[in-house]
Every structure is written in C-alpha cells, then in structure tokens.
C-alpha cells in the first residue's frame, strides 16, 4: 500500500504543475532537438524521435522524477565522425547505400544502451558521489556558458544562401522579444506561482508576433533554413533493415565500439551530473543506478526505432523543476506533447518565434550559473579554485564528460599529494631497549617515499616495533613497502614486529606473503585497536575503558 502511494506521488506530485511544466519543456525541446540533429548531420525528425523516446522511457523508469532527457549536443558532437564515415563507406560500395552513417548510428546505439545498462547493473552510478563540489560548480558554470553560446547561432539569418548575424531592425526585434520573454519569466512568479512563467512567456510572445504579423525567425523557418522539410511526421517505425547491414561494418568495428563507449560515457556522466544537480535543487535523492539502466534502455529503443539517442538535458531539467514539474508525469507529458507536435501540431508549433525560446534558455543560463563562485573563489583553497576554473574552461572547450573526468583527476591528484605529506612517525625507546615507531597518517602509494625515510635500519637497536594504531595500510604499494622494510631489518639481523594492524589489513598481508605471520603481533590488549579493527567487538561505552 505504502509502495503504491509512493509511486503515485513520484508520478504526480502536483498534476497541474507537472502538466503545464511538461508542455513548457516540450516547446523548448523542439528547437534543441532539431539543432542537435543538424549538428550530428541527420534529419530533424530523427532528433525529435530521439527526444521523444529518451524522454518517455526515462520519465517513467528513470532514477530521478522531474529530470528531462532528450537529444543532446554533447552526444551529437561525438556522432559526427561516425555518421560521416558511414556515409562515405556507403557511397563507395558496389551497390551504394544512402545514409549508411545513420544506419551505423542506430547499430551503435544498441551497444551504447547495453553498456549503460551494465553500468547500472554493476551499480557504477554511485560513483557520481565521488565528484568534488568544485567540479560540480565548474560543471554548472561551464554548462551555463555552453547553453548561452549555443543560443548565439539562433541570432543568424540566411542572406544569399549564407548564414550571417542579424543586423538592424531584425536584430532589435529579436532582442526586444527576448527581453520581453525574460521580463515575464522574472516578474510573473512575483505576482503568482500558479501559472508557469516560461509557458506564459512563450504564449504571449508568440501571440504578439502572430497577431502583429512580425517578420521574425520561427521554429518553422529555423528548420527550413537548416535543410529540413518541417516538423510533420508519423510515428517512429521499427528499423529492421539495420540487422542486414552488419556486413558493411567489416573493418569498421573498432569505430563502432569506440564510439559506443564514448557515447555511453558522455551520456552517463552528463545524466548523473544532472541528476546530482536536480537532487540539490529539489533537496531529494535520485537513484543513479536506476537512471543508468533507464538511459540504456532508452538508447536501445532509439536504435531500434530510428532516434538519434541522447541523455539527460540540464537546461530542460531546470526549466521543468523551476516551472513546478517534480513528478514523473512532467517528463511523460513533455515527451508525449513533443510527439503530438510532430503528429498533429506542426503548423502551430512552427509559428513560435525563436526569440521566445532563446529568452527561456537565457533565463536558464542565469539560473544555472553558480554566481556564488565569484564570491568564494578567493576564500577556497587554491587547488579547488584551479579545479573550478579548469572544469568550466574544459566544458566550453571540449565537452562535459572530458571536463568532469579532468576535474576529478586533478582533485584526486591534489588529495593524494596532500595525504602523501601527512605520514608521521613518533619514535620512542621502551624500557627493554626496543625502539617503537608509532605511525600516524594514511599509508598508500603516495606516502611510501616519506614512510621509508622515517626508518634508520642501520643504527636502530636489535628489536624494533612499528605501531599502526593511528595509520592504515591502504593498497598494494603500502604492503610492498612494509614487506621490503621487514626484509631490510631481517637482513641486518634485527627482530621486527608489526602491531595494531586492522583485520582487513592483516588479511591482505597474509595473502600477500606468509612471512607476515611471523612479524605481525596478533594478541594485543588495547581497546583502541579493537575499535579500529572490529567495532562490533567493542561493546562497552568508551568511558569504561582506560584510554
């Protein structure tokens, strides 16, 4: 009963808001899907079908209610080489095949989906939690800049067959409509939050341009300028022909598989980062592994039914959340409305001015950018500031996946370097002449050199103890360093003992070499050790131990 209530709540947290925000998102999805289809070099309907299938599957089965998925620029850029190579091969065949690159894309998406499903099955989605906050801030800042720059192409018009930036009346009209859209989105929530500001702004601006018969760029003119024939189309159809084209892949499987892995990685990183961001905005928790599986299933469906695939879309997700769409119904409505535009509403949707959609996206940019980063940049550690700026720059220069991976690597290296310098060794001589080294700090590959420098094998007494109660052996490099140290002391004819190793550390070292059983002290009456080694055995209150 409780599970049923939870499912219904996730699906329709607020039906009115979910439906209206879903319609807003659907309107914003149209030019985005079309634009990304042009980037990839495929027909606009392929992009629209991709947005529909990604949207409906992830809305119903994904790990984050309210998050929107569709055709994205990050993945479209990766597809370009695959599609152009496929078209080249298709034309060179004895019996030429038109648009073979598109068929290769459908085949590739089957592998993309399989990889993403495996990522979910093996619970790799949880690794998004390892992304540091400076990387997240750099990610949203870079993404806001990318969204802003992507809108600049919409300020172009076709003159004598060439795309040039607008000037004069056309430019000022565009800017005026954008400003009006942004003003409505900014001011309306201050009057009432019962009506979604973005949808209201689009309707008002569209009415002004249609009734005023203004000569402005519209969704329809945008599609036709790009070489498309319009939005009108039918339902997606099963692409059974791709199973007869596997023979054309001979000698090109490396391209298919490498592109599949890149697309899967880009899609998962962008989706999980978006999920994390929406989690923060809504103060709820999504399921990264479930999202991986849903994304994979949606991409397989795209491959089978002729969509270009995709992943989560941060801009549309933020539009949805800001418009009140928090349940799964909002994403489902957006996807279904998008398909209805293709089937029935193409003439009407094609009249929507591009300026209204650009205004909505500019407000998304303002809402996405982490303006607080300017305030804290001088207050955070220099390494975090470098990571934040680097991730932002790489996002704009390359893509989101490369930026996030680079940011995590930089952060990990900084963390490893700082911890490598934390290793300490307190030295004391016991009453019986035994020299004790009390190790403090993490012992891992980065701290090995400092660890080795703490010991004086030549001048130490015959009996030496190394106490690890305030340290931890973390990896194979650490075990190897201890093993070499033991060998040095034994080669010098000296007795060495290792104390206070945790249970898991001892088990690893026993597996590495039986020699450790001779030097590790097992019987230790020290509650600090039992707490660290096996907390379940440490049953009495800490105050009852004489520590």
Residues 376 and 433 in one domain: no
CB atoms within 10 A of CB 535: 9
Query: Looking at the domain assignment, is residue 325 inside a domain?
Result: yes
**Of 146, 75, 78, nearest in space to 298 by CA:** 75
Q: How many CB atoms lie within 10 A of CB 120?
A: 22
Give the C-alpha separation, 79 to 106, whole Å: 11
Are both 217 and 341 inside the same structural domain? Answer: yes
- Looking at the structure, do residues 348 and 206 belong to the same domain, yes or no? yes
Claim to verify: residue 163 and residue 232 sit in the same structural domain: yes
The H or E element containing residue 489 is helix 476-491
Q: Name the nearest CA neighbour of 408 among 135, 74, 126.
A: 135
Alpha helices of 283-399 — where are they, by DSSP H?
288-305, 314-322, 328-343, 346-349, 354-368, 372-376, 382-397
Question: Quick one: 348 and 468 in the same domain?
Answer: no
Number of structural domains (the chain) is 2
Cα gap 310→51, rounded to integer Å = 7
Report how far residue 72's alpha carbon sits from residue 50's, in angstroms, rounded to the nearest whole number. Answer: 10
Contacts of 173 (CB under 8 A, 6+ apart): 214, 216, 355
The per-residue DSSP string of 391-420 comes to HHHHHHHS-HHHHHHHHHHHHHHHHHHHHH
- CA angle, 60 then 358 then 214, to 5°: 120
CA distance linking residue 546 with residue 362, whole number of Å: 64
Locate 21 and state its tokens. 């925000």
Statement to judge: residues 463 and 385 lie in one domain:
no
**Interatomic CA distance for residues 497 and 298, integer angstroms:** 58
In a domain, 405, yes or no: no
- Residue 310, φ and ψ in degrees, nearest 5: 165, -155
* Full domain range(s) for residue 426: 421-544
**From first to last of its 547 residues, what are the pLDDT tens digits of the chain?**
343 444 455 666 688 889 988 998 998 888 778 777 877 778 888 989 999 999 999 999 999 998 999 988 778 878 888 999 999 999 988 888 888 999 999 999 999 999 999 999 999 877 777 778 888 888 888 878 887 887 888 888 877 777 788 888 999 999 999 999 999 989 988 888 777 787 888 889 999 999 999 989 888 887 777 666 667 778 999 999 999 998 888 888 999 999 999 899 889 988 988 898 888 888 888 899 999 999 999 999 999 999 999 999 888 898 898 888 888 999 999 999 999 988 888 888 888 888 988 888 888 788 778 888 888 888 888 889 999 999 999 888 877 778 888 898 999 888 888 888 888 899 999 999 999 999 998 888 889 999 999 999 999 999 999 998 888 888 888 888 998 999 999 999 999 999 888 777 788 788 878 888 888 887 655 554 444 445 444 444 444 544 4
DSSP state of 159: E
Residue 69 shares a structural domain with residue 199 = yes
List 426's β-bridge partners, or say none.
438
CATH of the domain at 540: 3.30.750.24
């Amino acid at each position: 009963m409780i599970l049923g209530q939870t499912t219904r709540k996730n699906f329709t947290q607020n039906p009115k808001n979910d439906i209206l925000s879903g319609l807003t998102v659907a309107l914003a999805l149209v030019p985005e899907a079309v634009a990304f289809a042009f980037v990839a070099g495929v027909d606009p309907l392929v992009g629209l079908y991709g947005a529909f299938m990604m949207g409906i599957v992830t809305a119903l089965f994904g790990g984050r209610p309210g998050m929107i998925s569709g055709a994205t620029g990050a993945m479209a850029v990766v597809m370009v080489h695959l599609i152009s190579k496929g078209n080249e091969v298709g034309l060179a065949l004895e019996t030429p095949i038109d648009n073979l690159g598109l068929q290769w894309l459908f085949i590739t998406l089957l592998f993309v989906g399989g990889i993403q499903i495996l990522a979910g099955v093996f619970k790799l989605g949880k690794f998004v939690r390892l992304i540091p906050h400076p990387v997240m801030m750099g990610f949203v800042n870079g993404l806001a800049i990318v969204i802003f720059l992507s809108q600049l192409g919409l300020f172009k018009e076709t003159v004598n067959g060439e795309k040039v930036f607008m000037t004069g009346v056309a430019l000022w009209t565009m800017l005026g409509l954008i400003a009006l859209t942004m003003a409505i989105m900014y001011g309306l929530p201050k009057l009432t939050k019962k009506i979604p500001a973005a949808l209201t702004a689009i309707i008002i601006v569209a009415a002004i341009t249609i009734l005023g018969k203004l000569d402005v760029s519209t969704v329809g003119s945008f599609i036709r300028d790009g070489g498309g024939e319009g939005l009108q189309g039918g339902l997606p159809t099963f692409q059974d022909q791709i199973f007869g084209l596997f023979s054309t892949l001979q000698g090109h499987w490396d391209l298919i598989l490498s592109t599949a892995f890149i697309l899967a990685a880009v899609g998962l990183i962008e989706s999980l980062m978006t999920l994390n961001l929406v989690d923060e905005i809504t103060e709820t928790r999504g399921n990264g592994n479930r999202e991986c599986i849903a994304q994979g299933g949606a991409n397989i469906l795209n491959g089978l039914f002729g969509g270009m695939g995709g992943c989560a879309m941060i801009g549309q997700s933020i539009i949805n959340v800001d418009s009140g769409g928090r349940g799964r119904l909002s994403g489902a409505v957006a996807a279904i409305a998008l398909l209805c535009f293709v089937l029935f509403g193409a003439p009407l949707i094609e009249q929507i001015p591009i300026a209204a959609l650009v205004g909505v996206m500019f407000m998304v940019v303002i809402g996405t950018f982490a303006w607080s980063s300017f305030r804290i940049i001088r207050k955070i550690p220099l390494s975090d500031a470098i990571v934040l700026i680097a991730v932002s720059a790489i996002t704009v220069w390359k893509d989101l996946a490369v930026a996030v991976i680079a940011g995590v690597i930089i952060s990990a290296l900084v963390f490893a370097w700082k911890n490598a310098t934390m290793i300490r060794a307190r030295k004391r001589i016991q009453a019986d002449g035994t020299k004790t080294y009390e190790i403090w700090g993490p012992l891992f590959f980065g701290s090995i050199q400092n660890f080795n420098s703490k010991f004086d094998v030549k001048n130490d007494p015959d009996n030496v103890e190394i106490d690890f109660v305030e340290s931890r052996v973390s990896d194979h490099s650490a075990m190897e360093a201890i093993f070499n140290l033991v060998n040095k002391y034994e080669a010098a004819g000296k007795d060495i003992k290792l104390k206070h190793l945790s249970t898991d550390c001892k088990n690893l070292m026993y597996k590495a070499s039986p020699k450790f059983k001779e030097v590790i002290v097992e019987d230790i009456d020290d509650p600090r050790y039992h707490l660290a080694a096996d907390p379940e055995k440490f049953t009495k209150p800490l105050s009852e131990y004489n520590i």
